[in-house]
Amino acid sequence: MVAAAINITGIGADAAVLASLWQIYTIWFAASIALAILPLVIIFVVRRDMFREFLIFEVGGFGFFSPLWIFIATDISGDPWYSILFDGITDGLIGPDSGGTIIGIDISNLFLVPFLLFSFIVGVILLRPSFIAKYGHEGEIPELTELKDTTVSKEEVSAESEMPEVVAPPTTADSIANLRDILIEQGTTDPMINLILNSGIGTTTDLATTSADQLVTLTGMDKHQAEELLMAVQKKVWFSGI
């Protein structure tokens, strides 16, 4: 939209004004890229746990809305929106020539049209809720920290006080990997696996002895889904050797 405003300002202007507007455009070209990258850098530093989700939203948003923005900006700047389908964009990009001077680079419609179509398709794919739920989270979710420190810890202390002679199976890297493999085998999504592991459940025995209500409380999954998952895991753990 800023490029459209610069283009409108240059209608009927003399060479000196056009030269000044071109300098403004080159500055805005670089600034717009920096403005797109800056939020990613901030999120990566401040909230790294949500960086992947934010990246998906930003890339998906640019992909989905860029064709619409380009058509609207073209129409506002004085050319019909469909002109880019036949003529491309004049001086749409910037780059140095052989002498190092910044010049305008035309974008051919033979490149632009497939790119806009590809951009829109990528945006539709990335912004699907199922895609975001599957790939948008990684590592431990901060919202579960307090739940882990209260519910799980209290239950462990209670179990130890009632059955002091029974030692719970230790959580190790191998037990977590084995539990993850079983959950993947049952078709559990990556975000849900992370929720289960981050809730303090670190072995197949822990999961098999967890109630459906407790699993719903820890992960937020549907109770019917929790019951089916526990039944499948219990069968796997208790009858896999038969």
- Do 49 and 91 fall into the same domain? yes
Q: For residue 46, which amino acid is it?
A: V
**Domain limit, last residue, from 72, 104, 135:** 135
* Interval 52-75 mean pLDDT: 92
Question: Which secondary-structure segment (H or E) carries 203?
Answer: none
pLDDT at 66: 92
Residue 75's Cβ-side half-sphere holds a number of Cα atoms within 13 Å equal to 8
Confidence band for 144, pLDDT divided at 50, 70 and 90: very low
Q: What is each CA distance from 161 to 50, 105, 150, 158, 165, in whole angstroms?
A: 38, 74, 16, 5, 9
- Do 92 and 189 fall into the same domain? no
For residue 54, the enclosing domain spans: 2-135
CA distance 145 to 195: 11
- Do 173 and 130 fall into the same domain? no
- Do 174 and 225 fall into the same domain? yes
- Our count of domains for the chain comes to 2
pTM for this prediction:
0.53
CA distance 221 to 152: 17
Contacts of 51 (CB under 8 A, 6+ apart): 40, 43, 44
Tens-digit pLDDT profile for residues 195-208:
888 877 878 777 77
Neighbours of 99 (CB within 10 A): 6
Q: Which structure tokens are listed for 40? A: 């990613």
**Domain limit, last residue, from 135, 153, 183:** 135
**Domain limit, last residue, from 92, 113, 135:** 135
* 223-239 vs 212-219: helix crossing angle, rounded to 10: 120
- Do 148 and 129 fall into the same domain? no
Q: For residue 127, which amino acid is it?
A: L
pLDDT at 142: 47
- Do 96 and 154 fall into the same domain? no
- Do 104 and 7 fall into the same domain? yes
